[in-house]
Amino acid sequence: MTRGELSQRTGLSMATIRYYENNGVLPAPKRAANGYRIYTDDYLVKIKFIKDAKSLGYSLKEIQETLQLLSQEMDETTLREIVQKKIVEIEAHIDTLHTLQSLLLGLLKTPQTDIQNYLKSFHIPDK
């Protein structure tokens, strides 16, 4: 299939597919005699994986590394380690978000005069 057909079947724009190829997330496809790129059904599977992994919070770099490992017959232990590492990262991010939420809730409970005085401390008088 052509890049346009792959785009239609996956819902990704042709520019996104090109970006993934240029950045090594997707391997460069083989070319036909006329120079057109020829995509196999394997690309459909890889793009589904990319979309699923992105929705789970994986970066393109992480997706690229995982796809490379998968192409080398990755074992279950390695996959579990990758997933566990992502879980730890997500938990750390959740902790950071909870801290930020607490700070913002505290700001809402601060008396208005304290907030106004705080904001005034940033005012630089005109010369």
Specify if 5 maps to a domain. Answer: yes
The pLDDT score that the predictor gives to residue 99 is 94
In terms of residue numbers, what domain contains 16?
Answer: 1-74
Residues 68 and 11 placed together within one structural domain of the fold: yes
The pLDDT score that the predictor gives to residue 46 is 94
Residues 100 and 49 placed together within one structural domain of the fold: no
Please give the model's pTM, rounded to 2 decimal places. 0.66
Residues 40 and 102 placed together within one structural domain of the fold: no
Q: Percent of the chain beyond pLDDT 90?
A: 60
Specify if 93 maps to a domain. Answer: yes
Residues 62 and 8 placed together within one structural domain of the fold: yes
Q: What is the DSSP letter of 28?
A: P
Final residue before a domain boundary, out of 37, 52, 74: 74
* pLDDT tens digits, 8-67: 999 999 999 999 999 999 999 999 999 999 999 999 999 999 999 999 889 999 999 888
Residues 57 and 86 placed together within one structural domain of the fold: no
Domain total in the chain? 2
Residues 84 and 104 placed together within one structural domain of the fold: yes
C-alpha to C-alpha distance for 72 and 63, rounded to whole angstroms: 14
C-alpha to C-alpha distance for 63 and 25, rounded to whole angstroms: 7
pLDDT band at 127 (very low <50, low <70, confident <90, very high): low
H/E element holding 21? helix 14-22
Specify if 59 maps to a domain. Answer: yes
Specify if 127 maps to a domain. Answer: no
Please give the structure tokens belonging to residue 117: 């005085």
Residues 66 and 103 placed together within one structural domain of the fold: no
